[in-house]
Amino acid sequence: MRATSQAQPNIALIKYWGKREARQNLPEVGSLSLTLDTLWTRMAVEFDERPGEDRLLVNGAPAASMLPRISACLDEIAGEGRAAAAVTSECNFPIAAGLASSAAAFAALVMAASKANGRSLEAATLARLAGRASGSAARSMYPGIVELEAGARDIALRTLAGPDDWPLSVTVAITATHAKAVSSGTAMTISKQTSPFYASWVARQGDDLAVARRAVLERDFAALAGVAEHNCLKMHSVMWTSRPAIVYWSAATIACMQTVRALQDDGVPVFFTIDAGPQLKAVSLPEAADTVADALRRTTGVVDVMCSPLGPGARLLGTA
């Protein structure tokens, strides 16, 4: 059976940075994110009759460098003695450039692969499987504003507000489309081992999550803006104080931050967040989205701007 599914990337407002345990890839801290709508990855998976070499096509081209992580994820789903699989992926935004492409890819992959393997698993199980491949991927299984709770032995997820419960807009300022030099997985390990700020990052995460959760439940945009920017800058401070230092920002990233600050000074309801890459994501109330997009488009170093409302969790598109 061939199964196809689609998932959207998610953007964390309260970030995940650092692993508690390697085997299950358990995050050390909880996180809170926005699942997007108009950026997507589609994955089609079909298992052969017998073991052999997996094949992967990404946007029509063979992608050997990405295959080991895909194959390891398929092993988790179908067992190590499994048949080989043909995996075809399509993505409508830049890959491995700090736009959560791995979150969307692995959420879509586990859903399509488990279906192609003859199983219909519930969202919590699929999220756990996706999270083993990429910590943030678990969140793309769910719609809207999502909280991931990091337990000692497991993760638990829930949607705090659906896409229509509190409509927010995400405007992504793309400043570079090439893949990042250091993967987030490698960078997290370096941070945990070397940053003198790592322990306090972990210790204070629960406080930030509580403030953000309450802001979402009370639809308090200013409170969410304040804690999200603080949490983002704290994560990047942990990266900057790692040895070797991990700096994902470029001059254009800072120019975009200044654009958001100028909009805020003019009373526009918007705030920024930045992940493991040079892109800036601006979160705003929907009525401000056009103003935000125009301002970011005019910012030096911005090569493209993508806008999205909040969207659904991963879903099955079909079987054949």
Question: Residue numbers of the site for ligand PMV (CB under 6 A)?
Answer: 12, 15-16, 31, 102-103, 134-136, 184-185, 275-276
Instruction: Starting at the earlier edge strand, list the strands of the sheet with 61-62.
Output: 61-62, 55-58, 85-91, 41-47, 2-7, 315-319
CB of 178 to ligand PMV, least distance (A): 17
What 3-state class would DSSP assign to 47? strand
Taking the least distance from each CB to ligand PMV, the nearer of 177 and 319 is 177
Taking the least distance from each CB to ligand PMV, the nearer of 31 and 88 is 31
CB of 217 to ligand PMV, least distance (A): 20
CB of 231 to ligand PMV, least distance (A): 10
Taking the least distance from each CB to ligand PMV, the nearer of 151 and 318 is 151
Taking the least distance from each CB to ligand PMV, the nearer of 134 and 195 is 134
CB of 242 to ligand PMV, least distance (A): 13
Residue pointed to by tokens 């570079």: 176
The C-alpha atoms of residue 211 and residue 274 are separated, in whole angstroms, by 19
Residues 77 and 116 sit within 8 Å (Cβ to Cβ): no
Residues 287 and 257 sit within 8 Å (Cβ to Cβ): no
Among 131, 134, 137, 184, which residue's Cα sits nearest to residue 155?
Answer: 131
The C-alpha atoms of residue 285 and residue 184 are separated, in whole angstroms, by 29
Torsion sign over Cα 198, 200, 204, 208:
negative
CB of 61 to ligand PMV, least distance (A): 22
Taking the least distance from each CB to ligand PMV, the nearer of 100 and 307 is 100
CB of 138 to ligand PMV, least distance (A): 9
